[in-house]
């Protein structure tokens, strides 16, 4: 019932009060929509084992999509987001919050298979949690799910932002036969190594033949990499006209900004490593869609476990809707949830009971044959 509620665009449990007057929704709820107090209590009954099982259901539908495509190369994008909270909630603690400084929040992790734009896993965390060593086990879980979906021969890349510059995270990815591509934390020693790099290769020029983009392999290794026997390739890209990412200037006499990437992929061209990371940007509109259209930042309860369950139910509903669209209305597979709902979900109709049969009569939709 809650999955139907979220697919329809309601973000909170009390949306059931409005939908209790909808005949089709009531029919799908087995004829009775329970009290919202009952639903709140049901959400609070989710324990740790239940949440793990629910997260597995989320992954099941993303895995089915990936299996169907028979991919030779797949990208697992991992990112975190901030959910500011205005009230008393378990686990709502002050932490990293670029918009509401000092505001209590949650800090969930989202894992996405880029090729199918499906969520392979999600985890709610308290607001004072940062992405790091403690999350290595969940990254391993996401890797195992993705590997099981795409098979042992598929090339698997894991893309993470600067938080991925963590030895334990990179070692966990490398140990499972996958490639990591992450932004580097620009520590003073790394900045010095980049600034003093002797050789830069020009990969792009402007109309006057002046270099606009150059790449270099940096001879640099952190102490913990050597202790963990982790072989990390450091790739620096400097550009005159880069429009995305943090702008870092290291040379007073050159109009270049630089970004640095870490990877264990020793075979790809250095510039290809940077371009591969740039395509990770697709997870940002996904998170925006999850917040705006699915309301993952609208928590239903003061109970942390209940809020975790609601998050997983919303991303499960997201995966189910995306899978349905791919199977039944593939022309809409690039659309975001608000437009999908408008086209195929929130359609006026009349529920008719005749004898022992129930039918739905809907208004004519002349555009639907064009979408199939």
pLDDT above 70 for 367: no
Percent of the chain at pLDDT exceeding 70? 97
Mean pLDDT of the chain: 91
Tally of domains in the chain: 1
Domain encompassing residue 59: 46-328
Contact 36, 13 (CB under 8 A): yes
Helix (H) or strand (E) holding 281: none
Classify burial at 142, counting beta carbons within 10 Å of its beta carbon; exposed 0-12, middle 13-18, buried 19 or more.
Answer: buried
Rounded-to-integer distance, Cα 155 and Cα 133, Å:
25
Q: Rounded to 5 degrees, what are φ and ψ at 368?
A: -60, -40
- What distance in Å separates the CA atoms of residue 166 and residue 102, rounded to the nearest whole number? 25
pTM metric for this prediction: 0.91
Write down the pLDDT at residue 349.
Answer: 86
Confirm whether 233 is domain-assigned: yes
Answer yes or no: is pLDDT of 372 > 90.
Answer: no
User: How big is the chain, counted in residues?
Assistant: 372
The token duo for 10 is 């309601």
Count of CB atoms within 10 A of residue 245's CB? Answer: 18
Question: Do 3 and 313 contact (CB within 8 A), yes or no?
Answer: yes
The answer to whether residue 334 is domain-embedded is: no
Instruction: Decide if 74 is inside a domain.
Output: yes
pLDDT of residue 371: 65
Distance CA 116, CA 274 (A): 22
Residue 365 has pLDDT above 90, yes or no: no
H helical segments located in 123-267: 136-150, 167-175, 188-195, 223-227
Q: Is the model's pLDDT at 295 over the cut of 80? A: yes
CATH of the domain at 151: 3.90.350
pLDDT band at 100 (very low <50, low <70, confident <90, very high): confident
- Does residue 335 form part of some domain? no
- DSSP classification of residue 135: G
What are the Cα distances from residue 35, in Å, to 14, 41, 191?
A: 9, 10, 59
* Residue 340 forms part of a structural domain: no
Minimum mean pLDDT among 119-123, 153-157, 207-211: which range?
A: 207-211
User: Which tens digit of pLDDT belongs to each residue from 197-253?
Assistant: 999 999 998 888 888 899 999 999 999 998 888 999 999 999 987 666 667 888 887
Q: Decide if 7 contacts 320 (C-beta within 8 A).
A: yes
- 242 lies in a domain? yes
According to DSSP, the residues that pair with 256 across neighbouring strands are: none
**Residue 339 falls inside a structural domain:** no
Q: Would 232 be classed as within a structural domain?
A: yes
Q: DSSP code of 35?
A: P
The b-or-e profile of 296-325 (16+ CB within 10 A means b, else e) is bbbbbbebbbbbbbbbbbbbbbbbbbbbbb
């Amino acid at each position: 019932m809650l999955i139907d509620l979220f697919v329809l665009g309601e973000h909170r449990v009390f949306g059931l009060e409005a939908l209790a007057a909808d005949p089709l929704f009531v029919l799908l709820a087995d004829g009775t929509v329970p009290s919202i107090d009952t639903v709140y209590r049901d959400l609070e009954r989710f324990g740790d084992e239940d949440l793990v099982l629910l997260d597995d259901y989320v992954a099941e539908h993303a895995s089915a999509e990936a299996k169907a495509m028979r991919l030779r190369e797949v990208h697992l994008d991992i990112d975190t987001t901030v959910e500011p909270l205005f009230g008393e909630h378990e686990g709502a603690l002050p932490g990293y919050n670029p918009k509401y400084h000092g505001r209590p929040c949650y800090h969930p992790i989202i894992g996405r298979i880029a090729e199918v734009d499906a969520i392979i896993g999600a985890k709610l965390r308290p607001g004072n949690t940062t992405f790091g060593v403690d999350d290595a086990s969940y990254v391993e879980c996401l890797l195992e799910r993705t590997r099981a979906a795409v098979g042992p021969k598929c090339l698997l890349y894991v893309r993470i932002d600067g938080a991925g510059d963590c030895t334990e995270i990179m070692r966990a990815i490398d140990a499972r036969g996958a490639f990591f591509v992450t932004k580097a934390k620009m520590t003073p020693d790394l900045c010095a190594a980049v600034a003093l790099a002797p050789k830069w290769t020009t990969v792009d020029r402007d109309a006057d033949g002046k270099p606009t983009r150059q790449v270099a392999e940096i001879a640099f290794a952190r102490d913990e990499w050597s202790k963990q026997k982790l072989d990390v390739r450091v790739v620096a890209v400097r550009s005159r006209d880069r429009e995305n990412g943090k702008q870092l200037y290291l040379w007073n006499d050159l109009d270049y900004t630089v970004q640095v990437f870490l990877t264990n992929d020793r075979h790809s061209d250095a510039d290809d490593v940077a371009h591969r990371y740039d395509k990770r940007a697709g997870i940002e509109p996904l998170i925006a869609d999850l917040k705006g259209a699915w309301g993952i930042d609208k928590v239903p309860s003061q109970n942390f476990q209940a809020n975790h369950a609601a998050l997983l139910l919303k991303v499960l509903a997201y995966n189910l809707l995306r899978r349905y669209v791919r199977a039944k209305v593939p022309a809409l597979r690039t659309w975001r949830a608000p437009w999908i709902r408008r086209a195929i979900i929130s359609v006026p109709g009349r529920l008719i009971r005749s004898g022992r049969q129930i039918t739905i009569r809907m208004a004519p939709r002349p555009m639907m044959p064009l979408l199939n």
